[in-house]
Amino acid sequence: MKMALCARISRLILPGAMSRKSPKTVPPRRPRVNGWSQPVHYLQVMAWIMFLVLAFTAFGIFIPLLPPEWRYIAYSVTGGICLFHLLVHLIVVSIDPAEANVRLKKNYARVVLTFDRSKHAHVIQRQYCHLCKVPVTAKAKHCSACNKCVAGFDHHCKWLNNCVGSRNYWYFFTTVASASAGLLYTIAILLYTLIQYFISPASLRTDPHYRSISDQNTWLLFLPLFPVRTSTPVFLGIGVLVLLLELISLLLLGHLLFFHVYLSTCPLGCPVLASLCPCVHVGPRAGRLRQKQAQSTKDKSREEKKHPMRGRKAEFYSKTCGKHKGGSESGQLRCSEIERNRIYEA
């Protein structure tokens, strides 16, 4: 047993040793104000390009092919969704989600020094940020990308190049919802266009500009202002590529949308997930689970008071990793504990 205990000592994890192995080499940086601050992330540029491409193809290629009685309705609905999405997108990118005390200082030109773990264990301790040098609220987190404390921190969105917190969360949610609705609507228009091409191509050629074209393999793009002639393979290729792009975008945005709906409406039964999502409302099911956990803890403490030897045996078993006499090899507890900081090694 002594040899086993000595063998386990070398597996202890010391915080000082971990920090020495991976020192912080990040240079000091200025905090970012919002999504327009430098540096611009490439995913943000990609999001704007996708929005412009999908809007350009919808208004310039596919909506003009609809029947006349549907065409103006499609223009109105698609235009309304695009304008609403553009508005909330600009708002969520432009809002500064920082803590109130950080915004009151208005000192974004100051370079924030690199966090020194030899002085403090955490960036925020007792609701005080050692980097921003201000007191913060309980749900605040210091974002490493924006280099500032964010109120009600949810996550840092690379597509918006901005943090999502309590100040702009619902604008973020509305942005995702409006983008999903716009994709659903344009996918329906595109599917109708492709299906009608194989069933009745003449129903897509109702625009007056097609009267001067006798070749059925010639199609006009960007009607009615700038008609551009193209062949059938090019027309179908554009339709298929845009459809694939919209389906992939809808899959990603739909997954994100339903995930946030689930987190905001469904009661959580996992305290760990609730702690990772500070903006999530914890429902009654999670409350009942916590009551059961508290009751089991009370019962365990009462049992230890009645039978103190059982608690001592369990403590001895945990410290020796289950290798004392009578412990089974399959049920060994492979863990070591440092009482000073409660670090466990699995």
| 343 within a domain of the structure (yes/no) | no
pLDDT score of 293 more than 90: no
Query: In the chain, pLDDT over 90 holds for what percent of residues?
Result: 47
Q: Average pLDDT, stretch 269-295?
A: 49
Residue 179 structural domain? 42-113+139-265
pTM equals 0.68
With respect to residue 60, please indicate whether it lies within any of the assigned structural domains. Answer: yes
Listed range (173-187, 211-225, 271-285) with the worst mean pLDDT: 271-285
Residue 213: which of 223, 136, 275, 247 has the closest Cα? Answer: 223
Q: What is the pLDDT of residues 219-265, one digit of tens each?
A: 999 988 889 999 999 999 999 999 999 999 999 999 999 999 988 87
What pLDDT, on the 0 to 100 scale, is given for residue 328? 44
Q: Whole-number mean pLDDT of the chain?
A: 78
- Say if 53 falls within a structural domain: yes
The answer on pLDDT for 276 being more than 60 is: no
Question: What total of structural domains would you count in the chain?
Answer: 1
Q: Looking at 104-113, 118-127, 216-225, 255-264, which range is the least confident one?
A: 104-113
Lowest model confidence (mean pLDDT) among 22-36, 154-168, 287-301: 287-301
In the numeric block, which tokens belong to residue 188? 């329906």
What are the CA-CA distances from residue 9 to residues 2, 5, 12 (Å)? 11, 7, 6
The average pLDDT across 298-316 equals 61
| Of the ranges 96-110, 138-152, 288-302, 326-340, the best mean pLDDT one | 138-152
Q: Report if residue 106 sits inside a domain.
A: yes
Please tell me the predicted confidence (pLDDT) of residue 19. Answer: 45
Which of these is catalytic: 82, 157, 163, 321? 157
As given in the structure block, the two tokens for residue 33 are 């104000």
Residues constituting the chain: 346
Q: Is residue 151 part of a domain?
A: yes
Lowest-pLDDT choice from 165-169, 170-174, 310-314: 310-314
Domain-embedded: residue 319: no
129 is catalytic: no
Per the domain annotation, does 296 fall within a domain? Answer: no
pLDDT reading at 92 higher than 70: yes
Return d(Cα 154, Cα 169) in angstroms, integer. Answer: 8
**Looking at residue 105, what is its pLDDT?**
80
> Is residue 26 packed enough to be buried (19+ CB in 10 Å), middle (13-18) or exposed (0-12)?
exposed
80-89, 141-150, 261-270: lowest mean pLDDT where? 261-270
Note whether 46 and 162 are within 8 A (CB): no
pLDDT level of residue 96 (50, 70, 90 thresholds): very high
Would residue 78 count as lying in a domain? yes
The per-residue pLDDT for 303 is 66
How far apart are alpha carbons 262 and 255 in whole angstroms?
10
Using pLDDT thresholds of 50, 70 and 90, give the confidence band for residue 21. very low
The mean pLDDT value for 133-137 works out to 90
Q: Is the pLDDT of residue 267 over 90?
A: no
Judged by average pLDDT, the poorest of 71-80, 179-188, 194-203, 212-221 is 212-221
